[in-house]
Amino acid sequence: MAPEVFAEIDPPQRLLMGPGPVNAHPRVLRAMSADLLGQFDPEMTAYMNEVMALYRPIFGTQNQQTFLVDGTARAGIEAALVSLVAPGQTVLVVDFGRFGLLLGEILARIGARIETVSAPWGQVVELDAIEDALKRVRPSLVATIHGDTSTTMAQPLEGFGALCRKYGALSYVDATATIGGMELAADRWAVDVVSGGLQKCLGGPSGSAPITLSEAAAERIFARRHVERGIVRDDLDDGEGPRIGSNYFDLAMVMDYWSDKRLNHHTEATTMLYGARECARIVLQEGLENRCARHRAAGRAVTAGARALGLEVFGDHRHRMSNVTGLVIPAGVDGEAVRRRMREDFQIEIGSAFGPLQGRLWRIGAMGYNAAKHKVLITLGALETVLRAEGFAAPAGVAVEAALAAWNAELSA
């Protein structure tokens, strides 16, 4: 019997207003339909070099080592940590949500000694608390999340990298949920390594992780260089440091691949690279400041609209992410029933929450191509209807107007 082949691809056109993934910009998807190139074709390596150049301003850096890891955002995190941290080394984790826990989880598997400085979900960690921990722990690396979508909080990073350097530590920031939507300033923050993903504010599909590394970080990693036996070359000396625990995530080899040395490591995911390149072009054509302002306007509009509906906005208001907003599910309302009606009646996806916030929050994202005035307004209008259908007395007609006013106030300010 012939195996079933199913129908051609034809997903429903959902409006993805959750914490990500969001709808990709159509230009990104079109760029991904370009024909493939051989991995060492001069046209391909030229595209790789352009990708490096395009992501430097997005990370706010001049770092030479700025490239893509072939995997989802989580692959970028693990590549950074497994390459930077040898077993037994001490790492200070700044933990204020699920993704802080993830850093610890990955580091435990690497065999790092993990120390943590935490804040409750919905708050961020004070720089003073980080400094106290640095003094006490003397880590070789400090790792933090920038925007943790699980709590919708954004850790302030002004002064963060410089503080780590003061105590002799390198620093790592996971910017998956903020890259392309909130300012990244790797050089000004003096942060050593920042990684991200395409599927949130960059407006692309999941599956490629942009990353940038300072010279100090690259040096630490090259000290652990160990080229595969099958492709050993005279011009690449192995380092003295302990071998990196992963081949795929060995950023020494990946950096050699992205350099003029063109070491033959993995086969670059060409189509994802085309997509990542187009995401970056769109960001830079819009301009980073305009783009951050647009995300800020979207966040203000969601917040204003939600409050007009009578909903409480979650978390420490001084440190909320602009691009994902947590709304407290009112007592007596079935959060999953609301999400289902949003999806089935309006083709709009909004997010639920994890861990201690599970069942307590909805999360509304307005990111990348979806950080658009009309999409925020449509979402709030739909939410108003759905809330009333689920028995919550949302006032009629005020949320959309409040959101529109907030959007306009922000962008004309």
Task: List residues forming the annotated binding site for substrate.
Answer: 363
Binding-site entries: 363
Site for a copy of itself in 163-202 (CB under 8 A): 197, 199
CB of 266 to a copy of itself, least distance (A): 4
Between residues 39 and 385, which has the closer beta carbon with respect to a copy of itself?
A: 39
Q: Does 9 bind a copy of itself (CB under 8 A)?
A: yes
- Please identify which residue in 120, 247, 290, 336 interacts with a copy of itself, judged by CB under 8 A: 247
Dig out the tokens for 179 from the structure.
Answer: 């890259």
* CA-CA-CA-CA torsion sign (135, 90, 77, 267): positive
CA 372 to chain centre: 19
Q: What is the DSSP letter of 7?
A: P
CB of 84 to a copy of itself, least distance (A): 15
Query: Is residue 138 left, alpha or beta, with left meaning phi > 0 and alpha meaning psi from -120 to 50?
Result: left
CA gyration radius for the chain? 22
Compute the distance between CA of residue 159 and CA of residue 357 in angstroms, rounded to an integer: 30
- Please identify which residue in 48, 75, 119, 124 interacts with a copy of itself, judged by CB under 8 A: 75
Compute the distance between CA of residue 96 and CA of residue 292 in angstroms, rounded to an integer: 23
Dig out the tokens for 175 from the structure.
Answer: 């910017």
CB of 201 to a copy of itself, least distance (A): 14
Site track 252-271 with a copy of itself (rule: CB under 8 A), x = hit: ------------xxxxxxxx
Site for a copy of itself in 117-156 (CB under 8 A): 150
- Please identify which residue in 66, 72, 140, 155 interacts with a copy of itself, judged by CB under 8 A: 72
Q: Does 10 bind a copy of itself (CB under 8 A)?
A: yes
Query: Is residue 122 left, alpha or beta, with left meaning phi > 0 and alpha meaning psi from -120 to 50?
Result: left
Q: What is the DSSP letter of 369?
A: G
CA neighbours closer than 13 Å in the CB half-sphere of residue 276? 35
CB of 401 to a copy of itself, least distance (A): 28
Site for a copy of itself in 32-61 (CB under 8 A): 32-39, 41, 43-44, 47, 50, 53-54, 56-57
Between residues 12 and 332, which has the closer beta carbon with respect to a copy of itself?
A: 12
Q: Does 354 bind a copy of itself (CB under 8 A)?
A: yes
Beta-sheet strands, E only, within 90-155: 90-95, 113-118, 141-145, 147-148, 153-154
Q: Does 272 bind a copy of itself (CB under 8 A)?
A: yes
Task: Please give the C-alpha separations between residue 347 and each of 11, 259, 391, 396, in angstroms, as whole numbers.
Answer: 12, 44, 21, 21
CA neighbours closer than 13 Å in the CB half-sphere of residue 277? 21
122: amino acid identity, one letter: G
Site for a copy of itself in 203-232 (CB under 8 A): 205-208, 228-232
Between residues 119 and 163, which has the closer beta carbon with respect to a copy of itself?
A: 119
CB of 197 to a copy of itself, least distance (A): 7
Between residues 207 and 330, which has the closer beta carbon with respect to a copy of itself?
A: 207
Site for a copy of itself in 283-342 (CB under 8 A): 284-285, 287
